[in-house]
A and B are shown apart, each in its own frame.
Chain A
Amino acid sequence: MEQPLPSTNIGASVLAALGESVSDTRVFRDEVTLFVVKEHVSEVLQYLRDVEKFDMLTDETCVDYLPREPRFGIIYQLYSMPRNIRVRVKVMLSENDRSIQSAYPVYRSANWLEREIYDLFGIMFVGHPDLRRIMMPPGWEGHPLLKEHPVKVEEVAFSFNRERVMADKPRAQE
């Protein structure tokens, strides 16, 4: 821990209670990020919700840190309505193990947010009740928000031009 946590924000008691589950903390622009060990994410979220009163998961998303390793960061933005503070929980995932416990049992709002991450990044959420694509059409191959996926214009495939479009479809680089 390099910097002290701002007093208005999440206190040292949290760090003491969570112990080894939190591997690191970071403060940037007055925003607190807790780096949580992947295995303990469910317990940490449960603790933050029940004891620290972070009652709302406002956002959950993923960042692709290619070429860094661990490659993926799953970001949970938590908000406590009674205390009016925010905290960010971050879990790093390695390139070879793209799966994590689902936050759905703790926060119901994680349902579609995790489906979106699964769709766009290909991260598997263990224990998610309804994990399937949400944004991309059925049968679409790949995960578009991965860094190796090119930004290109893709012609819309209809039944009459499907074969030709699929033949020169931009694919993720190897």
Chain B
Amino acid sequence: MSVAEPRFHIEESPKNVVSAADTQLDITFDQLKKLVTPRALTGDTMLLNMGPQHPSTHGVLRLLLELDGETVLSCIPDIGFLHTGIEKTAESKTYTKAIVVTDRIDYLAPMICNLAYVGAVEKLVGVDVPLRAQYIRVILSELTRMNSHLVWLGTHALDIGAMSMFLYTFRERELLLDIFELVSGTRMMSSYFRVGGLWRDAPDSFADAVRRVLKVFPARLLEYENLLKENPLWRERTIGIGVISKEDAVAYGMTGPSLRGSGVNYDVRKAAPYSSYDHFDFSVPLGAHGDVYDRYRCRMEEFYQSLKIIEQALDKLPPGPVITDDRKIAPPPKHEIAYSMESLIHHFKLWTEGFRAPEGEVYHAVESGKGEFGVYISSDGGPRPRRVHFRAPSLCNLQALPQMSKGYLIADIVGIVGSVDIVLGEVDR
């Protein structure tokens, strides 16, 4: 019996065959040494590029993987391909005008980004939102969460190989997008929330359209569950894959279903209720093992909780105004301008200059589909913010990817990336 000759010896080839330039990263050789194992530098393990055009990286995420055979030894994410300078743009616009850029952050959940931003501005200027507006915001946020989860479910399953899932979820997504179009006129970049309330009241057919979602969804969710929940292939590919412990998840700043999959009970809607979330009864689904399957279960259970919240909000939806009557913040109704000088002045001032916020800084967080979406605003007392910063949950969740993917197979990487549910618009901003 002959012993196979070792293919490569580090001792025999002290010369590094990999250079920093090979990685196509903005990196020096010393920095690279800290990110990969020493074997990578001698060519003993393989450095493989994945993305940014790879279909299962959910946009333009690039991963540099160090592989020993099929096993991932280290993973270096490279982001920034979708950096659009949203924070800089928001600095140069008035508080109202910056709402449109928040849609583009998490383009799968634009209403939640709107809600976080207007919530932060409302906290800064100290304005109360009418109850009807708060309830409609809750309904639309939950629909948005479902929209975000539907895209996640479809693409995540598609990555792992369940092609038909994608077609079903995008079929249901149309129902939700129709509602967004109904209220705002736009399917995706809705910009429907305004500082102090809503752009305008939801049309009469809104309630019926939402009831239709409530009626249709339970059966469709059952369909999804039948396809995946007990599917042996699905379970084989997800259980015990991409495990991250409670402590690690918290240390990396993970939030949302990705954190709750590890069994940490943290949901901003419960911890610091905003927009009257404390008026509704719902529970926070938790996982136990912190693997891909538990994160999948958490999100699936959230569908049911969202439906529960929407139903309660719709039943209790009070009549009344949908935007604050503080004329310094919200523009007057159009018909008033015709006969009221005051209104005309307010209208003119608001659209030429915008309102001024007191000097100070606030941080306001909401629970988006991905996790804690926070907005930090620093104001210098003028009509434009000094600094706006968006705390993107996807960025923090993605940070844990190297930790999660270590030691798994390269085929598992797509499953792990999918289970973290990233949106690159939000990661790069």
Contact = CB atoms under 8 A, between A and B. Distances in A.
Nearest to B266: A81
B282 interface: no
B360 A55 contact: no
A55 B92 CA distance: 35
Chain B interface mostly: mixed
B44 interface: no
Interface string A53-96: 00111110101110000000101010001001010100000000
A107 B31 CA distance: 20
Contacts of A137: 26, 80
Interface in B189-232: none
Interface stretch (B173-181, B246-254, B347-355): B246-254
Interface in A94-111: 107-109, 111
A120 B429 CA distance: 12
Contacts of A171: none
Given A81-B266, A86-B363, A88-B363, A139 B374 contact: no
Which of A33, A55, A59, A139 has the most chain B CB atoms inside 10 A of its CB?
A: A59
Contact of B31 (A59, A120, A130): A130
A108 B250 CA distance: 9
Interface stretch (B81-89, B101-109, B290-298, B303-311): B81-89
Interface in A138-174: 138-139, 144-145, 149, 151
A135 interface: yes
B26 A132 contact: yes
A31 interface: yes
B374 A58 contact: yes
A130 B35 contact: yes
B97 interface: no
B92 to A, nearest CB: 5
Given A84-B271, A107-B251, A151-B89, A58 B80 contact: no
Given A58-B374, A112-B395, A112-B399, A65 B386 contact: yes
A111 B399 contact: yes
Given A109-B399, A138-B25, A29 B360 contact: yes
Nearest to A149: B88
Interface in B258-307: 264, 266, 271-272
Interface string B392-404: 0001101100000
Nearest to B371: A58
Contacts of B363: 31, 59, 77, 86, 88
Contacts of B88: 144-145, 149, 151
A137 B386 CA distance: 25
Interface string B356-387: 00001111010000001010101000000011
Interface of B: 25-27, 31, 34-35, 79-80, 83, 85, 87-89, 91-92, 123-124, 126, 250-253, 255, 264, 266, 271-272, 360-363, 365, 372, 374, 376, 378, 386-387, 389, 391, 395-396, 398-399, 428-429
The 3 closest A-B pairs by CB, nearest first: A109-B253, A138-B26, A59-B391
Interface of A: 28-29, 31, 33, 55-59, 61, 63-65, 73, 75, 77, 81, 84, 86, 88, 107-109, 111-113, 116, 120, 129-130, 132-139, 144-145, 149, 151
